[in-house]
Amino acid sequence: MNANRARVLLQSGYVLHRRAYRDSSLLVELFTPQFGRVGVIARGARQPKSRLHGVLQPFRPLLLSWSGSGELPGLTGGEPDGAVPWLTGQALMGGFYVNELLMRLLHRFDPHPDLYAIYHRTVHILGEIGQMSENAAASSLKLERNLRLFEKHLLEEIGYGLVLEHDADEGRPIEAQQMYVYHPMQGPVRLGDGAEMMPNRLTIHGRSLLDLAHGSLEDGESLREVKRLTRAALAAQLGERPLASRRLFRIEKQGSGQKKDRGAEIEQEVDLINPRSSIPDPGL
């Protein structure tokens, strides 16, 4: 099906980003399993009497309908589809970070059904983390672990998956106690096999590589090393423009924000428009 010339009914999806358009409408970026990232115009959605008013919120599973031709079809329907995760604090910042990655790294109308399923699961895990305020250390560990796993899957989906279970020189299995130098365009090389420890090189234990490969990031050292690895791999794809959500994450972590939930305000502050596919003025 040609997604940008179609009438689509009751497609599962999430709002990645939205911004005001003209007097009463919204420009909305959606993520769906069948059509990938889709940009739509929600006409009149900001009017109090609109049936879409208050529905198009990030992290809320939705059933969405749209129709029309061109880059921005018109949204014709939207309704809740199941339980709504409640994201707060650092979990909310993590949600905006995940959304920004999808906005920056996915092309429009390029479906990734497996990645959608992982995103759906990640959002619900972030909702669980938001309710763990009584155990800050456990919630922080769970947040970091699930963000790293999402980054790993995202890199795989866009064709830049990490080499985690064998070295880049001879294809030898990764050894847990061995140190490696990770070359972003090549993979891990055993320290000593022509790879020397240097300040600007990304060194990582074999155990951390295997933990990421098996999705079992349980200790602080592995999480710290894997974070450096996935950040370097993502930076090669994101380019020089910094991620706005990382700045907000630091603000939240420092505790400099207000105590009340600032989710709606923060979402308006973050510009998540994908530089690869900017939203044109529909001229409507």
Give residue-wise pLDDT tens across range 99-118. Answer: 999 999 999 999 999 999 99
Residue 283 is predicted with a pLDDT of: 34
Yes or no: say if 25 and 44 are a contact pair by the CB < 8 Å rule: yes
- ∠ CA 158-160-164, nearest 5°, is 130
Residue 268 is predicted with a pLDDT of: 45
Distance between CA 19 and CA 238 in Å, rounded?
22
At the top level of CATH, which class does the domain 5-80 belong to?
Answer: mainly beta
Number of Cβ within 10 Å of residue 169's Cβ equals 14
Residue 65 is predicted with a pLDDT of: 95
Yes or no: say if 282 and 73 are a contact pair by the CB < 8 Å rule: no
Examine domains 5-80 and 85-258 and report if their fold is the same.
Answer: no
Domain boundaries, the chain: 5-80, 85-258
Number of Cβ within 10 Å of residue 55's Cβ equals 17
Using the predicted structure, report yes or no on whether residue 41 has a pLDDT greater than 90: yes
- Closest-CA residue to 33 (of 90, 99, 98, 113): 113
Confidence at 194, pLDDT banded by 50, 70, 90: low
Positions of E strands within the chain:
5-21, 25-32, 36-42, 62-69, 74-80, 179-183, 187-190, 203-205
Confidence at 134, pLDDT banded by 50, 70, 90: low
Residue 108 is predicted with a pLDDT of: 92
- If you average pLDDT over residues 245-253, what whole number do you get? 70
Residue 31 is predicted with a pLDDT of: 97
- ∠ CA 264-59-214, nearest 5°, is 130
Sign of the C-alpha dihedral computed for residues 53, 94, 81 and 68 taken in this order: positive
Which residue has better confidence, 143 or 247?
A: 143
The dotted CATH code for 85-258 is 1.20.1440.120
Choose the weakest-confidence range: 205-214, 236-245, 247-256, 267-276.
267-276
Residue 133 is predicted with a pLDDT of: 64
Confidence at 276, pLDDT banded by 50, 70, 90: very low
Choose the weakest-confidence range: 39-53, 187-201, 228-242.
187-201
Residue 255 is predicted with a pLDDT of: 60
Using the predicted structure, report yes or no on whether residue 35 has a pLDDT greater than 90: yes
Q: Which helix (H) or strand (E) holds 113?
A: helix 113-129
Confidence at 199, pLDDT banded by 50, 70, 90: low
Residue 269 is predicted with a pLDDT of: 47
Helix axes 136-157, 220-238, angle to 10 degrees: 40
- Closest-CA residue to 38 (of 116, 111, 120): 111
Phi and psi (nearest 5°) for 15?
A: -85, 120
Using the predicted structure, report yes or no on whether residue 72 has a pLDDT greater than 50: yes
Helix, strand, or coil here: 120?
Answer: helix
Using the predicted structure, report yes or no on whether residue 38 has a pLDDT greater than 70: yes
